[in-house]
Amino acid sequence: MSALESYYVRPKTVDRVRGTWLGPQIERYVERLAAERYSRSTILRTIRTLTEFGDLAKSRGAHCLEDLPSHVEGFLTHYLDCHGDKSQSRRRRGTLFAHAHAHVEGMLRLVLPGFAGGKITLERPFQESVPTLFDHLQGERGYRATTILRYVHHLRSLEQFLQRIGVSSLSEVSPMMVSAFLAESARRLGPNSMQGRGGVLRIFFRYLHRQGMTAHDLSHAVERGRRYRQASLPRAITWVEVQRVLDAVDRRAPVGKRDYVILLLLVTYGLRSREVEALTLDDIDWKRERLLIPARKGDHSTAFPLSTAVGEALLEYIRDARPSLADRHVFFRAVPPIAPLAWVAIGQIASRWLRRAGIAVPRGGSHTLRHTCVQQLVNAGFSFKAIGDYVGHRSPQSTQVYGKVAVEALRELAMGNGEEVL
């Protein structure tokens, strides 16, 4: 029985898939997915996606397999336009995009020798009306890829708003429209996100005015929201709650062993999710009992003593649960495709175990445990300089926020012993 026949009951359905011009390539890819133990529902959804990709590429002029890579990005945008409106959730749209992206490129890697793929994002907003915008942001302003993605996100929202109210040209945009867009955004976004959106819009409108695309500089219509320094408290949890989180992890399964180590690393060393993502087997110095963190902010590294609890949990995970792969990364996905765990997934792991432990905290995630680590060091009486060095703060101001919750020091200050405290 062929791969397709094992997933479809009706022979006509198998014939229809095989009859498409990518039928043989789709069947080869399905055989690989079956060997990697993908679920039946995922494979059926993938077949539909790849069939749709082949039909669209052919309608847009693809005549051979070598023509397909140039149609990937256009297909992903088309795919979201057709299927993304079925859910109002931004997260669901991202899942749809990731599925289509992963499996289209996965098939191309299989059938096209030398195809490397790459990170593809949705088509950038205002690409036709302002084609030089993102070249300006990357080339002249020197923005990183992560910052560019932030601009794509905020400007796409503006583009969709203008399309919805019937504005076809940027020269028609008025201060009243800008205010209406910001008022609508404020109903969905928090203060920090609104401040970020305002900064993006001001730069965008200044650029339009310099290029002569608008008669007036509309950046003045974007109000600057007030944001007070150190106005918020770190979202740390108590050490008793940390123990509840760790106790909630079922370490009998491989995924439980992995998650337990990740939680320990976050709360013991105050690591960021990107630092956990970058860990490799070479960073664990078993002989000297040290843990190396090479990928910190500011391009510096740190070497921590390898605690007994972390060392034992790491050893158990690597020995019994980590996939046997040539890749040197420490942490991997637990379900196909088996790949190094991304920093976003690490934050989601922390958030999930916080919820399962019944601990309510605003925006719970990996930084919750990082804040907890710092808070424990503050409570232990370490200086802010030592704490900042330990957790890799680039600026002393990042550590000073914890002074607001140094309860014992504040109590002494209130009782008049300020000289000793300061």
Residue from 236, 268, 271, 261 nearest 354 by CA = 236
Q: Are 75 and 53 in contact (CB under 8 A)?
A: yes
Is 329 labeled as catalytic in the residue annotation?
no
Task: Provide the b/e sequence for 360-371 (b: ≥16 CB within 10 Å).
Answer: ebeebbbbbbbb
φ and ψ at residue 304, rounded to 5 degrees? -105, 150
Q: Are 341 and 354 in contact (CB under 8 A)?
A: no
Q: What is the mean pLDDT of the segment spanning 305-318?
A: 94
Give me the catalytic one of 71, 154, 367, 371: 367
Give me the catalytic one of 272, 274, 290, 333: 272
| Confidence class for position 127, pLDDT limits 50, 70, 90 | confident
Is 297 labeled as catalytic in the residue annotation?
yes
Q: Is the confidence at residue 230, as pLDDT, over 60?
A: no
| Confidence class for position 123, pLDDT limits 50, 70, 90 | low
Cα–Cα distance, 55 to 50 (Å, whole number): 9
Is 207 labeled as catalytic in the residue annotation?
no
Q: Is the confidence at residue 161, as pLDDT, over 70?
A: yes
pTM equals 0.61
Give me the catalytic one of 197, 257, 370, 371: 370
* pLDDT at site 396: 66
φ and ψ at residue 275, rounded to 5 degrees? -70, -35
| Confidence class for position 82, pLDDT limits 50, 70, 90 | confident
Q: Is the confidence at residue 300, as pLDDT, over 80?
A: no
Q: Are 331 and 258 in contact (CB under 8 A)?
A: yes
Give me the catalytic one of 297, 300, 328, 363: 297
pLDDT, one tens digit per residue, over 379-397 is: 787 877 888 778 777 666 6
pLDDT, one tens digit per residue, over 215-229 is: 999 999 998 866 655
Higher-confidence position of 113 and 354: 354
Distance separating the N- and C-terminal Cα atoms of the chain: 78
Residue recorded with tokens 């014992």: 408
Question: Which three-class secondary structure state does DSSP give residue 291?
Answer: strand
Is 393 labeled as catalytic in the residue annotation?
yes
Q: Are 80 and 74 in contact (CB under 8 A)?
A: no
Please give the full DSSP string across 298-366, using - where no structure is assigned: GG--EEEE--HHHHHHHHHHHHHTS---S--BS-B-SSSS--BPPHHHHHHHHHHHHHHTT---TT-SH
Q: Is the peptide bond before 337 cis (omega within 30 degrees of 0)?
A: yes
Q: Is the confidence at residue 121, as pLDDT, over 50?
A: no
Q: Is the confidence at residue 38, as pLDDT, over 90?
A: no
- Please list, in sequence order, all residues whose beta carbon lies within 8 angstroms of the beta carbon of residue 237, skipping any fewer than 6 positions away: 245, 354, 359, 361, 368, 369, 372
**Domains in the chain: ranges and CATH:** 11-111 (no CATH), 133-221 (1.10.150), 239-414 (1.10.443.10)
Is 288 labeled as catalytic in the residue annotation?
no
